[in-house]
A and B are shown apart, each in its own frame.
Chain A
Amino acid sequence: MADHRFRPVSGEKPCCDISKKAQICLCVVFGLLVVVIIAVVVGIVMWRQPPQHREWKGAGTTAHFYEIILGRCYTYTQIVRPELGHKDCQKIGKAFTNAFLSKDPCSSTEQDYQPLMELTNQTVPCDKTLLWSKTNELVHEYAWVQREFFTLENTLLGYMADGLRWCGDPGSPEMNYQSCPDRRTDCSNNSVSVFWNTVSKRFAEDACGVVHVLLNGSVHNSFDERSTFARVEVFNLHPEKVHTLQAWVMQDIRNISSDSCSDASIKNLKLILSKRNITFTCENNYRPIRFLQCVKYPEHSSCRSKI
């Protein structure tokens, strides 16, 4: 029978040997270490996460926006209108994005777009400006066939931006691909709307001679006071340069009604223009564009028996 008491070997239970004070110290240091590690991990995770953009009600920036505008710039200046081959597309692309990156997309101004406007200045020959309202498809089909006419979308800047959406965010150097402000439900001074107002204004200011406008005779308000045509373009035509505005009012070929040129809204347009000293002329169903409509409905009676 062993009546010895074995002394515990000193290595087996180390903490028992360290003083209470040292134990506390160790625990604190250990705790701090854990906190530091957690903080570093969280920091890395947060840094890697893209900065959060504000959420808007409209669709976000078009995917590959920058590559698209750059590519379109080169296509336009090298192939569509090679007389503009001297334009610097790299500079133009940068000026475009600088207009809205890192800025509040609801506080866009004309000034934001000034550097871009200066780089993309373009002369449209007199009598060749073609405005439009509620005739998007038809007017561009016509301009494609009659290449001497220029709609805004046939100018360099219009061509680059057509159909695209873009916006930035004050807290971030990135474009917001998730959402962008909707004109009606978020704000009207958004990056895209301000762009089109700015370029439309210049397009109208630069026009000379006879200016044409393609209007839709099959909708309620052919001349709509809320449209860009009414709000911006009509009011920025210069009477010293533009002596006549000629309207072509096209009706849907399947539904030809009375004389659209005598509509109340068209009379309103005539009044506005006369106050500005610009002559107004109007033609119903302008024949060349009627042919264009007939391409879709070749068997229609008005496409068959028309002299």
Chain B
Amino acid sequence: MAYKGDKNCTAIWEAFKVVLDKDPCSVFPSDYDHFISLSRHSIPRDKSLFWENNHLLVTSYAENARRFMPLCDVLYGRIGDFLSWCRQENASGLDYQSCPTSEDCENNPVDSYWKMASMQYSRDSTGVIHVMLNGSEPKGAYPVKGFFADFEIPYLQKDKITRIEIWVMHEIGRPKVESCGEGSVKILEERLEKMGFQYRCINDHLPVKLLMCVDHSTHPDCALNSAVTSTRREAPPLCAEHGASLFIPFLVVLASVIQL
């Protein structure tokens, strides 16, 4: 991140600070407009990494922006990462005891921050878009109501994106609740297709799987021969609209054959 030397941290702090004077249930994403405009910077092409329910894995895999640049490695994501903040309800000064969550009120400082940051991150993402989902999450790998669904997908710039790659990761030794083409992942795939995006879905993307194995090196799932196999599901090319009913199964079979 050394190349962000033109940013004025004092000005960025001043822009952020205004939120700390507001009623903690009346902070809107737009209250962070000025903050975002000062801290915004470009994201390298093909390096965007979206995620749900695997914060630490994503941070490890991204390798401090060397491999990928998830939101937490962008300046306006790094600033707020792991922090919470709010003014006291009926007084000035910060509340160090508790802050409202989305269950208390929608327009709380932290949620509004991440909504704003997510929208900006999406807008500035280009090239191949990557999404890492947790296929062992009992509530489903793709939260239909969540930051990715509501504040990232809608703001993706279709004309700047080549395709979307979904990785459904399963935790070592935990059940495979969902995989590509199943449950909420299927909902996501259908949504992306409807929006006109080229996408593909990979179960247990190998490099990430290898990273998970660092912690479970003796587990049978980490005997590498089995870690290598992955199944892929691909969206048909847009031009194959007619005859799609024959073309899609053909592609799937072809893809599986290539994998063996």
Contacts and interface: CB of A to CB of B under 8 A. Distances in A.
Interface of A: 63-64, 67, 79, 141-142, 144-146, 287-289, 291-292, 294-296, 298, 303-307
A303 B82 contact: no
Contact of A298 (B60, B63, B206, B217): B206
Interface string B217-249: 110001111001000000000000000000000
Contact of A288 (B5, B61, B63, B215): B215
A173 B215 CA distance: 48
5 contacts: A146-B214, A291-B211, A291-B213, A294-B207, A298-B206
B210 interface: yes
Nearest to A144: B60
A289 B213 CA distance: 10
B206 A291 contact: no
B214 A291 contact: yes
B157 to A, nearest CB: 30
A288 B61 CA distance: 15
A288 B217 contact: yes
Most buried by A among B59, B223, B224: B224
Contacts of B59: 144
A256 to B, nearest CB: 15
Contacts of A79: 82-83
A60 to B, nearest CB: 15
Contacts of B223: 307
A81 B214 CA distance: 22
Contact of A305 (B63, B208, B224): B224
Interface of B: 5, 9, 59-61, 63, 82-83, 206-208, 210-211, 213-215, 217-218, 222-225, 228
Contacts of B82: 79
Nearest to A163: B2
A145 B214 contact: yes
B225 A141 contact: no
Given A79-B82, A145-B60, A288 B224 contact: no
Contact of B225 (A63, A142, A146, A304): A304
Given A144-B60, A291-B210, A305 B215 contact: no
B217 A287 contact: yes
Contact of A291 (B9, B61, B222): B222
Contact of B214 (A63, A67, A292, A296): A292
A94 B113 CA distance: 33
B12 to A, nearest CB: 13
Contacts of B206: 298
B240 to A, nearest CB: 30
A113 B217 CA distance: 41
Contact of A292 (B5, B211, B225, B228): B211
Nearest to A75: B82
Contacts of A306: 224
A269 to B, nearest CB: 25
B211 A304 contact: no
Contacts of A303: 210, 224
Nearest to A292: B214
A115 B34 CA distance: 42
Nearest to A141: B63
Given A141-B63, A304-B225, A295 B215 contact: no
Most buried by A among B9, B82, B206, B210: B210
Contacts of A307: 223-225
Interface pairs A-B: 7 shortest CB-CB = A288-B217, A298-B206, A294-B210, A291-B213, A287-B217, A291-B214, A298-B207
B207 A145 contact: no
Most buried by B among A63, A64, A146, A304: A304
Contacts of A298: 206-207, 210
B145 to A, nearest CB: 28
Contacts of B63: 141
A225 to B, nearest CB: 31
Contacts of B228: 304
A307 B226 CA distance: 10
A53 B207 CA distance: 49
Most buried by B among A292, A295, A307: A295
Contacts of A64: 9
Contacts of A145: 60, 211, 214-215
Given A141-B63, A145-B214, A295 B224 contact: no
B229 to A, nearest CB: 11
A199 to B, nearest CB: 22
A218 to B, nearest CB: 20
A63 B218 CA distance: 45
B215 A304 contact: no
A263 to B, nearest CB: 24
Contacts of B210: 291-292, 294-295, 298, 303
A304 B224 contact: yes
Given A79-B82, A144-B60, A298-B206, A305 B225 contact: yes
A145 B64 CA distance: 13
B104 to A, nearest CB: 23
